[in-house]
Structure 1
């Protein structure tokens, strides 16, 4: 299995090693049942760490990483045979967060240079069909990501309910 190269941007010294508010969770489906486990908090600031940890969970079923970064946006990650499938709920977050910038780097997506575009509502980027086989079609994920009145933990809770691991996720994150 060859992973896609990830260009990691050095975090500012004050951000390196410090964890952000939010959570990093893996939802794992084995033998028709879901379970959720916490990922290392480094996953919120280091995409490489999140990908490596998800790959280490080796499962016969689906493995999905859910990152609620700083209560500002979310990232979905899913190991696939030749790399990783990714989706970020707000592409503009790449201006302020290394993990979002790393997602866009992996997706080979650049933010528009036009400053006006950055004043628009947040927009999702990446594989919106990342959870389609688990019951969440791309169109629904796109709409959910665009719900700016919802916090990322609420969006991820809705994703969990739709895909069938909502209860396990709620127990783990205590909501």
Structure 2
């Protein structure tokens, strides 16, 4: 198997346990394919909620929320599936066709209610995902702010 080029960005696990948030970095392989991201998230031991936050190559972000019964996903830019395996993986799981080569619009796919129980309603999350003037790390920081874990996320990002 050929060695893949590393992808710029970050992969973070955000865990909420007993009302407190903690963030930690995931292996960079989580940026390359969804299975790798899920494997990394399953290594996180918690009785609370766990989120995967992936900022990929200054192009798009992915939010992953695994639970025992299902996996909720949000991809900020469906057209990213044309160039990135992880974005294509997300669309495959969501059963959404890959956009055509001539699609130049940015639109999100997935569960916009993925963070509603943490105080970020679907309409606000959709507005953050649609903000093309922001980089994915800035969008994820806005999400973290609204959900109450901006400080925990900032601490982890400052370490890198």
Give the TM-score range, shorter chain: over 0.9
Q: Look up the SS of the partner of 2:40 in the other structure.
A: helix
- Tell me how far 1:112 sits from its aligned partner: 4.3
Picking from 102, 108, 132, the partner of 1:124 is 108
- Tell me how far 1:43 sits from its aligned partner: 0.2
Q: Residues of 1 paired with 2:4 and 2:41: CA distance?
A: 20
Deviations 1:57-103 (A, max 9, x none): 13111100000001110000001222311000000000000000000
Q: Residues of 2 paired with 1:41 and 1:108: CA distance?
A: 25
Q: Which residue of 2 aligns with 1:172?
A: 156
Q: Which residue of 2 aligns with 1:78?
A: 65
Q: Which residue of 1 aligns with 2:91?
A: 104
| Equivalent residue runs for 1:20-99 within 5 Å | 20-99=7-86
Pairs aligned (count): 159
Identify unmatched segments of 5+ residues in structure 2: none
Q: TM-score, normalised on structure 2?
A: 0.94
Q: TM-score, normalised on structure 1?
A: 0.86
C-alpha RMSD of the superposition: 1.5
Q: Residues of 2 paired with 1:145 and 1:153: CA distance?
A: 11
Q: Which residue of 1 aligns with 2:127?
A: 143
Identify unmatched segments of 5+ residues in structure 1: 1-9
Q: Look up the SS of the partner of 1:19 in the other structure.
A: coil
